[in-house]
Each structure stands twice: as structure tokens, then as C-alpha cells.
Amino acid sequence: MSSQLSRRDLFRLGGIGIISTTLLAACSKNNGTSDNAIASIGTIPPNTSLPTAEVTDVVLLRTAASLEYAAIDLYSTLLDAGYLSGDFAAVAAIARRFRDDHAAHAASSNSLVLKLGGQAFECANSRFTSLAITPAIALISTPENPDVALDAVTLAHAIETVCAQMQQGFVGLYSDPVLRGAAINVGQNNARHAVILAQMLNPGLSGVEPSTEPATGVSKVFAVPSAFGGLAIVRVPLGPPNAEGVKTSITMETPSLNALTYEFVSC
């Protein structure tokens, strides 16, 4: 018997194969899926849709409050740990005053939240804290750090700068002019805090405008960075310096879409 298949046999077998597959598919159990469903093995978990994340005036106000709480917590940490000491012992009293100011700012933002029918937010912005404050405190508290007090004041200056920038930046986002006025009123107060701390770090009129360290060329902290308020990222050198004398730089920026305190966020 010849085992060779003719061309006609091949076509016939192919046709039988296609018909069988179609019949099997038609007779198979549907498993309750729609006709358009892609066949799969196992159970597909249902899709969990994300909550609606709309940037409203309430969200911006809650975010503003959350950053003010971050500042409150930072001052409490610096004071409780006794970091404001030595050459910067005088800053401790200033820090207490600034902490009170931030509490008033947060209360002001939250009162506006309540007026708009939102829910007050009374704790620190978790994303800002985890990305900026926690690593900053870790650097400051490193046992090898020779500049604990200096770094503590530098960090306080940075958060004041960011708080001022945030309020300035939110002016362009609020829908209601009254909220813009309220925001910038808080922002200007934070900017004053930044000046006082800048003068603690780089005292005198020579510390008012941008300048650099003559030895290293590194930019100093100064009271008036530019003629117009900027919204640039703030870099904070902290912790023990490396062999070249350079400290680790922590980056701080005003809360963006992924750090806003949306209405579904709770403390």
C-alpha cells in the first residue's frame, strides 16, 4: 500500500480539520462569557476602578493644609530632638512661633474647606513627608553628621520656601478669586519665614541676594532669590559631607497631581 498522500487527499484532510474545529468550538460550553470574550484559563478578577480624582478648590485647600501640617510636624521633630542648638539655639524660639503660624495657616485652609462643603484634612501630606521630610531627617540624624543644627535650619528654610511656592502656584489653580487672595496671603507669610531663616544661615545684607561660597562655588542660602517669586524645585544639602565636602541633596517640590490631597484621601 502506498503511504503517499495525493494533493487531493491533503485538501480533503485539511477541510475535515477546519470543519471539526468549527463544530467543536460551536458545541463547547460558553461558561457564561459573552460571545466577544477572549478565551482564557483561570478566573479573571473584576476591574477595580480608581476613585474620581478631580482637582477642585477643596482638593487644593486640603493639600495646602496638608503641607502646612508637614511643616508643623517638622518643627515639632526638630524641637523635640533638640536639633536647634549651639550656634542656632536662638532658632528654637523662632521655630515655635513659625509652628504656631503654620497651625493658623492650616486652620484657615480647613475653614475654607468646610465652607465649601468639604472635609477638613488635619495631618501631614504623606507623599511629601515620605519623599522629602523622612529622608531629610534621616540624613540630619546620622551620627557622623557634623552639622546637625545647621542642617535643621536649612531644612526648615526649605520647607518654608516650598510652602510659599505652593500657595503662589495654587493662585493660578483656584477658580474663585477670594481663595486666590487667601492663598497668597498665607504664602507671603511663609515667604517671610524663609527670609528670617535665610538670614540665620547667611546673615547680614550680603546674604540678601544670590551669592556663592568662595571656596566651593556652592550657592548660599539667600533671602531674596529673584525679583519675581519662582516655583522651581528646592534642593537641600543635608547630612555628613562626602570626601569632596559635598552633602547629599534632597529635592523638594510643591505638591503635584500625585501628591494632592484628593477628597477620597484621609489621614
- Name the 3-class secondary structure at 252: strand
Determine the distance from the C-alpha atom of residue 203 to the mean position of all C-alpha atoms in its chain, rounded to a whole number: 31
- Cβ proximity to other proteins, 120 vs 196, nearer residue: 196
Is 182 one of the binding residues for other proteins (CB under 8 A)? yes
- Cβ proximity to other proteins, 49 vs 175, nearer residue: 175
Distance CA 64, CA 116 (A): 15
The interface with other proteins within residues 225-244 (CB under 8 A) comprises 226-230
In the complex, the smallest distance separating the C-beta of residue 142 from other proteins, rounded to whole angstroms, is 31
In the complex, the smallest distance separating the C-beta of residue 154 from other proteins, rounded to whole angstroms, is 17
Spatial contact of 108 and 178, defined as CB atoms under 8 Å apart: no
- Cβ proximity to other proteins, 75 vs 238, nearer residue: 75
- Binding other proteins (rule: CB under 8 A), the pick from 22, 119, 134, 185 is 185
The interface with other proteins within residues 192-231 (CB under 8 A) comprises 192-196, 199, 203-206, 208-209, 223-224, 226-230
Distance CA 194, CA 203 (A): 13
Is 163 one of the binding residues for other proteins (CB under 8 A)? no
- Cβ proximity to other proteins, 133 vs 195, nearer residue: 195
Residues 6+ apart with CB under 8 A from 210: 219, 220, 222, 225, 226
- Binding other proteins (rule: CB under 8 A), the pick from 13, 116, 178, 267 is 178
Could you tell me the three cell numbers for 37? 470574550
Is 109 one of the binding residues for other proteins (CB under 8 A)? no
In the complex, the smallest distance separating the C-beta of residue 210 from other proteins, rounded to whole angstroms, is 11
Question: Contact region for other proteins (CB under 8 A) — 1-9, 65-73, 140-148, 165-173?
Answer: 165-173
Tally of CB atoms within 10 A around 27: 7
One-letter amino acid of 167: Q
Spatial contact of 234 and 161, defined as CB atoms under 8 Å apart: yes
Determine the distance from the C-alpha atom of residue 63 to the mean position of all C-alpha atoms in its chain, rounded to a whole number: 10
Total interface residues for other proteins by CB under 8 A: 38
Spatial contact of 262 and 57, defined as CB atoms under 8 Å apart: no
Cα angle 217, 87, 202; round to 5? 35
- Name the 3-class secondary structure at 15: helix
The interface with other proteins within residues 62-101 (CB under 8 A) comprises 97, 101
Residue ranges binding other proteins (CB under 8 A)? 97, 101, 164, 167-168, 171-172, 175, 177-178, 180-182, 184-185, 187-189, 191-196, 199, 203-206, 208-209, 223-224, 226-230
